[in-house]
């Protein structure tokens, strides 16, 4: 870890030559593209899993031009569709012989339901990454030592798990106002931390480790689906207090690359550092197990 001016940086010198990295979604903008750029510069084969092919191809050309690494590839994926997740996993396993690093970076704030009947935020931010991780787990194990990095948010502290709402409505909460939708986002980010915690327990004895993290308040497109008035309100705050994409990518890169943190699998990071004062609800054994089992049921795995 290294501080340059006011920017805390992942200063790992680890190369990634010969490694395959799967980065999803949002790898065509913001911290997703910045992370992909860094990993490509280190020599990794980087696969950008995105919904928008046109935007992804523009980002790929920029990354190739900037890094000289020709091994930057687009694969179609829509996390709002469990069928799309399954098709993606099938295609990936047929085309790629290894997977060294899986970075789950889903973080939408958008209402509505998916074609599967789940809340949009629940599906994109949690169920899709959950299902994909499990479908690719054997490949991760075969490629070990490998890592799973789940990008959460400090918003998880405001989240809670309402299993009654989940089972009854297949959603993290009720209501469609922006503030209600934002609460669902916080709930989904708690899901990310709980999923990482439970995954680490189930991976014990394997050569796969996993980490969750808060990237910081980032100037990204996460508010692109917000109302006009909310966007008007948030923009000045974003300009004054939010990090840029380079700063926001640092903790993701730390968890992806830093040697010697394998014993911290399942833990939560911020500012390129382990967070030891995490709220008990984010490391509750019964809650993480129940969320895992319900997620398996929703995804048709149990």
Give the integer Cα–Cα distance in Å for 105 and 23. 7
Angle subtended at Cα 176 by Cα 163 and Cα 299, rounded to the nearest 5 degrees: 40
Active site residue 197: no
Give the integer Cα–Cα distance in Å for 96 and 239. 40
Look-up: residue for tokens 């510069």? Answer: 41
Look-up: residue for tokens 């523009």? Answer: 58
Instruction: Select from 143, 151, 144, 139 the least CA-distant residue to 32.
Output: 151
Task: To the nearest 10°, report the CA torsion of 95, 30, 150, 53.
Answer: -30
Rounded to a whole number of angstroms, the CA Rg of the chain reads 18
Give the integer Cα–Cα distance in Å for 229 and 246. 28
Angle subtended at Cα 104 by Cα 101 and Cα 109, rounded to the nearest 5 degrees: 165
Q: How many CB atoms lie within 10 A of CB 78?
A: 21
Give the integer Cα–Cα distance in Å for 119 and 223. 18
The span from the first CA to the last CA of the chain, in angstroms, equals 41
Which of 178, 185, 254, 268 is catalytic? The answer is 185
Q: How many residues does the chain have?
A: 302
Give the integer Cα–Cα distance in Å for 151 and 79. 15
- Which residues belong to the active site? 185
């Amino acid at each position: 870890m290294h501080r340059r001016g006011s920017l805390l940086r992942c200063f790992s010198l680890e190369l990634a030559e010969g490694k395959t990295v799967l980065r999803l979604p949002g790898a065509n903008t913001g911290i997703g593209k910045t992370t992909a750029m860094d990993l490509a510069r280190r020599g990794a084969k980087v696969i950008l899993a995105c919904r928008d092919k046109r935007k992804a191809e523009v980002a790929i050309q920029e990354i190739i031009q900037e890094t000289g690494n020709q091994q930057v590839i687009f694969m179609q994926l829509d996390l709002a569709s469990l069928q799309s997740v399954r098709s993606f996993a099938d295609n990936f396993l047929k085309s790629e012989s290894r997977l060294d690093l899986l970075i789950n970076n889903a973080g939408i704030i958008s209402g509505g339901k998916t074609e599967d009947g789940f809340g949009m935020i629940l599906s994109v931010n949690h169920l899709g990454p959950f299902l994909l991780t499990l479908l690719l787990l054997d490949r991760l194990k075969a490629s070990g030592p490998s890592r799973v990095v789940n990008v959460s948010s400090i918003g998880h502290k405001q989240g809670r798990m309402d299993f009654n709402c989940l089972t009854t409505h297949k959603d993290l909460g009720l209501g469609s106002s922006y503030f209600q939708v934002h609460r669902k986002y916080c709930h989904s980010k708690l899901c990310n931390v709980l999923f990482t915690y439970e995954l680490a327990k189930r991976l014990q004895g394997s050569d796969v480790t996993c980490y969750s993290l808060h990237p910081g308040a980032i100037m990204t497109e996460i508010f692109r689906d917000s109302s006009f008035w909310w966007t008007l309100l948030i923009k000045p705050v974003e300009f004054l207090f939010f990090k840029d994409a380079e700063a926001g990518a640092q903790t993701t890169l730390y968890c992806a690359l830093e040697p010697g943190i394998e014993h911290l699998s399942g833990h939560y990071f911020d500012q390129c550092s382990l967070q030891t004062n995490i709220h008990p609800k984010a490391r509750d054994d019964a809650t993480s197990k129940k969320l895992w089992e319900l997620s398996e049921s929703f995804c048709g795995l149990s």
